[in-house]
Chain A
Amino acid sequence: MSGRSSTASNNYLPFAPGFVDNDGPKIVSTRFGYEDSHTLARSLATGGYDGLKLALRRSPAEVAAEVKEAVLLGRGGAGFPAGIKWGFMPPVWPRYLVVNGDESEPGTYKDRMLMERDPHQLIEGSLITCYALGLNQCFLYVRGEMAQAQENVAQALNDAYAAGFVGKNILGSDVSIDVVLHWGAGAYIVGEETALIESLEGNRGMPRLKPPFFPAAKGLYMKPTIVNNVETLANVPWLMLNGAAEYRKFGSEASPGTRMVAVSGHVKRPGVYEIEQGVVSFRDLFYGDNYCQGIRDDNELKAFVPGGGSAPWFFEDQLDLLQEGRDVGSAGSMLGSGALIVMDHTTDIVKACLRLVRFFARESCGKCTPCREGTAWEEKVLQRILDGHGRPNDIDLLLEIGKNISPGTYPVASFAEQGLDTVPFPPKQTTICPLGPSSVAPITSAIRRFRGEFEAKIDAAQSARVEA
């Protein structure tokens, strides 16, 4: 592991470290090679705001059509096409754009990088979107803990306002749009779009029920609101400049373009990679020379999280799946927020499972009874097992609590060999939002694949008790 000296210089550079250039096509990381990639000067020198200029010469409807044509999938987790979402807005004004930069999903690390390293790209993408939707108030919601990202975005906005790219009469035109930097204060759930809206209204970030509160129809202040992820909007300038047809040349038919993925855990070269969507397999990513170059110490792979802490786990059986939303979904998990966490055979699976469950218990907003009470209970039971106080019924109990939050058979991939079916993703839920059910994903994943490790800990506890 590198010592502090090597990272010290890295620490206060205005951008996040960890990006690995894999020689593949680039759409959103084109400026990452420059040390001053966050500045207006660099941006302008490399085509920054050209997409906006082009957009302003077209009608808003044409701009929106171009994005729809490109099939720009949302990068926040659900992978819903942005163009189609935009079309859900009823003809009601005022309407708002909210940029979701609350990135907090365990393992996820890309929106911060995009905000720190190329804030102008995000601002430009947001402006084009505002233009397409005919609105003049945009809020950029940046996660509270990301001080550097806030600084870089604030500086970029100040520069862009001064230079006439944002605000009144953009680029001398009659178009006026304000972009306001807003920041959070530490709550994972606020990444969920309706909770984000509550938070932006100054409230506790508790999700609203959909239906009836679909943001596109009833969002911020109960007005039509589009919430898009940072990475989603960072794609828009390139898309504007190069057109939908060019965009669709990358990636697969169903998932065009590229996406940013962060691979962490037990790989030789963890990092953030911009990869083509739908064409790279998990094996390529973990073992490929251009990517992570294998498991650390050439250990065996035990399990991996394919799309953020909320995603049910995959195992070596799924290594050859392409990172294509549809395929991964029918295999019982999701690509989510592009966060891959790799666990090698040395991993204590109960501990890993507890750590994710504990995250959801800590981050539950407390609104829905099953999530508020259930996640806390799950954590307690797992902690007990790990601490050597497990009880014989604890495994069943965990699965039962899980059912109270997320009823029905829970989908976990690759149990064919155990005679278990995979079922379609996503799961059912007794809660308003998927946070509660997300806590069930690591539990069912771990228990159904490594039940023996849980039993071993419980048995040890039992025999210790008998001996005592």
Chain B
Amino acid sequence: MSRLSTENEALAREIIARYPRPKSALIPLLHLVQEQDGYVADDAMEHLAELVGVTPAEVLGTCSFYEMFIRHPVGKYKIDVCTNLSCQLVGGEELLHHAEQKLGIRPGGTTEDGMFTLEDVECIAACTEAPCLQVNYRYEYKLSNEDFDQLVDELRQGDRPEIPNHGTLGLVRQHIAPDRLAGIAAPEVTGTPAWFASRQPEPEAAK
């Protein structure tokens, strides 16, 4: 739908500056786009291409490789139910089926009111707390069907304000005050850091 807002473009430039090469910032920038729009639109990819100096095709090549980037609008809440082995063994698939019924959609689908998108996902690193899921990458552990229903109801009623809309990842961002930055250099800039050279033991005289 849109390019980055002025504010987000400034943020994008701050992120780019943290990498030795601009293209390295591409994944964080795609997240920024998704945070802004809820999904990754073509215009936004073209904007990123300009910002990091590659072609839109290269941005799409990267974007489409990663599961988390979605190139069409999805629900406000994306519910990712883990069905990998650890969860499967203790009811992950049953939870997914229950979710399908409760929401009336299949994995990949979005409810008509645009509230929920359901996904059947791979291991989300909470295996000891199975069956589990993530809502917009926030965890819910050891869910029964009732827990799931309650979760959906709460989300519908707006009782879970701590869960941001789809697209927003960490609510805390890294910011480096310019005067605290050691200094990021392009990989073409060679030479050892001065502190390292001075702290290495003197090369032993030839024996």
* Interface residue ranges, A against B (CB under 8 Å): 1-4, 7, 10-12, 16-18, 59-61, 92-94, 103-109, 111-112, 134-137, 143-148, 150-152, 154-155, 157-158, 161-162, 166-168, 173-178, 180-188, 199-205, 220-223, 262-266, 270-272, 305, 309, 339, 341, 343, 347, 351-352, 355-356, 359, 362-363, 365
Contact = CB atoms under 8 A, between A and B. Distances in A.
B176 to A, nearest CB: 6
Given A105-B123, A202-B26, A341-B89, 14 more contacts: A18-B128, A59-B200, A94-B185, A107-B84, A134-B193, A135-B193, A144-B169, A145-B80, A147-B137, A147-B169, A176-B195, A180-B18, A205-B66, A359-B85
B172 A202 contact: no
B57 interface: no
Contacts of B195: 173-176
B191 to A, nearest CB: 6
Contacts of B69: 185-186
B182 A204 contact: no
Contact of A103 (B86, B125, B144, B179): B125
Q: Which of B62, B68, B84 gathers most chain A CB within 10 Å?
A: B84
Contacts of B196: 60, 134-135
Of all A-B residue pairs in the complex, the 6 with the closest CB atoms, nearest first, are A186-B67, A185-B66, A176-B182, A134-B196, A202-B26, A150-B170
Nearest to A309: B85
Contacts of A7: 129, 140-142, 147
A147 B170 contact: yes
Interface in B74-99: 80, 83-86, 88-90
Contact of B86 (A203, A341, A362): A341
Interface in B2-40: 18-21, 23-28, 30-31
Contact of B182 (A94, A152, A167, A188): A167
B143 interface: yes
Nearest to B196: A134
Contacts of B140: 7, 11
15 contacts: A61-B201, A106-B127, A136-B183, A137-B185, A150-B170, A154-B172, A167-B181, A178-B183, A180-B174, A200-B24, A221-B21, A270-B128, A352-B85, A356-B84, A359-B85
B207 interface: no
A176 B128 CA distance: 39
A162 B177 contact: yes
Contacts of A18: 126, 128-129, 141
Contacts, number: 267
Given A3-B147, A146-B125, A356 B177 contact: no
Nearest to B67: A186
A59 B27 contact: no
Interface in B91-123: 122-123
Contacts of B54: 202
A93 B191 contact: yes
B181 A178 contact: yes
Nearest to A168: B182
Given A94-B187, A151-B172, A355-B85, A185 B31 contact: yes
B173 A154 contact: yes
Interface of B: 18-21, 23-28, 30-31, 52, 54, 61-62, 65-69, 80, 83-86, 88-90, 122-130, 134, 136-144, 146-147, 150-151, 162, 169-177, 179-185, 187, 189-196, 198-201
Nearest to A150: B170
A20 B65 CA distance: 36
Contact of A201 (B23, B179, B189): B23
Contacts of A155: 172
Which of A178, A222, A362 has the most chain B CB atoms closer than 10 A to its own CB?
A178
B85 A93 contact: no
A187 B176 CA distance: 28
Given A93-B190, A186-B68, A109 B27 contact: no
A145 B124 contact: yes
Nearest to A135: B193
A180 B173 CA distance: 11
A204 B23 CA distance: 12
Contacts of A167: 176, 180-182
A359 B123 contact: yes
A352 B89 contact: yes
A167 B31 CA distance: 25
Given A17-B129, A59-B199, A155-B172, A355 B20 contact: no
B89 to A, nearest CB: 5
A339 B138 CA distance: 22
A201 B20 CA distance: 9
B66 A3 contact: no
B4 to A, nearest CB: 16
Nearest to B135: A11
A168 B180 contact: yes
A225 to B, nearest CB: 10
A106 B129 contact: no
A339 B52 CA distance: 38
Contacts of B144: 1, 3-4
A341 B26 CA distance: 35
Interface centre among B19, B89, B124, B171 (most CB of A within 10 A): B89
A202 B180 contact: no
A270 B175 CA distance: 38
Contacts of A266: 89-90
B84 A359 contact: yes
Given A59-B201, A202-B25, A104 B122 contact: yes
Contacts of A154: 170, 172-174
B137 A146 contact: yes
Contact of A178 (B90, B128, B182): B182
